[in-house]
Structure 1
């Protein structure tokens, strides 16, 4: 199927079925170009709440489609490919996490939104990379904290909030793939550049950064900072939309340890989604995200607490 046909059909079906297409910053360029909204996972799920669409097509990964369904129970939530997982979510098994919780009683459980709905049901609070500091700071100092599933984000938060936490040992394969040696090499060639890094990155990468923040935070930093050159340490898909917003600036993806096609860090899970899969999913209305109502309601509670706080 050629691209022109796919784009035309997706637009036709979207109108016909009253659907809205949400695309995460890390999706490939073709999908970003056809999306109604581009953003990070929670921002997109909240955007969907404010539309009158009957169908949400979430071009992202599995936990994002779950979050969209948790927040939008009356809408049909579709996503292009069941195989679009996440190393963070997949690395935190509900049974293992239940045992982990039992080993640390009387702890407030804070989970990063990049986790499965079942993990959210075991949480007191959910956070995003954008509001994580605020969420941790909202917890009384005499309370002990479990933070899961991202230990890199957890270590960063410990440093920022001066709170000691019990960390689940999980990580994002994309943000652990950055090469410090290659990054320094690029920086030496671009000494006026500013380095912007996502807090899922390892601490040695974060130490080099002029700015640390969420995908939305990095976007705002690059747009508003007067520097002309930026080295961006997060998934390279963010550069597509960002380069359109700041065409006069030079954006360099932080290099990965692997020798791959773009020499940058790409999420293979995010890139599982394609324009053709998006078309077929909208046409056939499958795969559909369906959650048992009891699970959905329990997973909603810590998200609502987060939304109240932030």
Structure 2
């Protein structure tokens, strides 16, 4: 009985915290946007939960006085770029991104100098300064469509994720696509061997693979060679995973991405067993946003995100070009 009572007290405390957060947000005129990789309690209290593309579109369309971005810093910068007249807050300004850190604006300028006339396609997981040096941004949900929209005879510089870039090159057949050698340390740690072994052990399960994963490109190759079941393997953005989860008839799905995604997948279809390919694939940056830091942010207004006006004006063009490209956003947790 002690365990049951203890659980009840935890749930009551969670409910009290959520009520405080929602009250504070209402008092500030704030909308709370959370990424799919956030902690479960952050996702539950957010007004909207989605992938990078969905959050960018929501930030651009929001009429709220303030935007509280529960994600990593480049996401908050993107919200500020799209809504310069609004206050944008991030509960922990230290929430960085190993992928965004893999290229700087100076490095991009040097790369561009080596390839004059090339179109620069920057994954949204980049700093505002890098976006400002780019022609168009993309997310994993629309990267192939963005590249396909560039004239075939024009060279393309794709950055910074090498695994997503390899996926786009395969999908588009683009021979003149140059790829920066960056990676997300979490996704890079999800190995082709782990994916193959789990697929063999769970023949009833579908496979959802994020294209940032170290196993992403090899997953497509392995489906062609028969090492992975082609009819059960899908390479999807996090938004695409959520959409697929809602309609799948499989009893189980093996998920190759950051483990925070499991919360939304399990909510979307409770009848299905969603299991991580790598249970240790957790981004410590994403998990830096906590219940305490979100409440503190709403009470104090820290930490406000600022982007230099000149940088923001140049970056805005690239981000708005991304938003104009499909697919439609997939969000969850709206209340």
Would you call these one fold, judging by a TM-score over 0.5? Answer: yes
Quote the Cα distance in structure 2 between the aligned partners of 1:182 and 1:284: 44
- Alpha-carbon displacement from aligned partner over 1:125-171 (angstroms, at most 9, x marks no partner): 11111111111111111101100011111111111101121111101
* Higher mean displacement: 30-39 or 176-185: 176-185
Quote the Cα distance in structure 2 between the aligned partners of 1:48 and 1:180: 35
Match of residue 281, structure 2, among 252, 256, 265: 265
Partner of 1:293: 309
Match of residue 53, structure 2, among 39, 42, 63: 42
Match of residue 51, structure 1, among 62, 65, 79: 62
Deviation of residue 4 (structure 1)? 4.7
Considering only aligned residues, what root-mean-square deviation do their CA atoms show, in Å?
Answer: 1.7
Moved over 6 A (4+): none
Quote the Cα distance in structure 2 between the aligned partners of 1:110 and 1:184: 31
Deviation of residue 45 (structure 1)? 2.6
Map of 1:84-233 to 2, 5 A cutoff?
84-164=95-175, 165-202=177-214, 203-206=217-220, 207=222, 208=228, 210-233=233-256
Quote the Cα distance in structure 1 between the aligned partners of 2:69 and 2:123: 19
Partner of 1:9: 20
TM-score by structure 2 length?
Answer: 0.86
Quote the Cα distance in structure 2 between the aligned partners of 1:29 and 1:181: 29
- Alpha-carbon displacement from aligned partner over 1:164-218 (angstroms, at most 9, x marks no partner): 2111110111111113333333223311111110111122244447111110111
Quote the Cα distance in structure 1 between the aligned partners of 2:17 and 2:94: 21
Partner of 1:260: none
Q: Does 1:81 align with 2:114?
A: no
User: Are the counterparts in 2 of residues 27 and 59 from structure 1 also a CA contact under 8 Å?
Assistant: yes
TM-score by structure 1 length?
Answer: 0.93
Deviation of residue 5 (structure 1)? 4.6
Deviation of residue 3 (structure 1)? 4.1
The runs of 5 or more residues in structure 1 that have no matched partner are 256-262
User: Are the counterparts in 2 of residues 211 and 221 from structure 1 also a CA contact under 8 Å?
Assistant: no
Deviation of residue 291 (structure 1)? 1.2
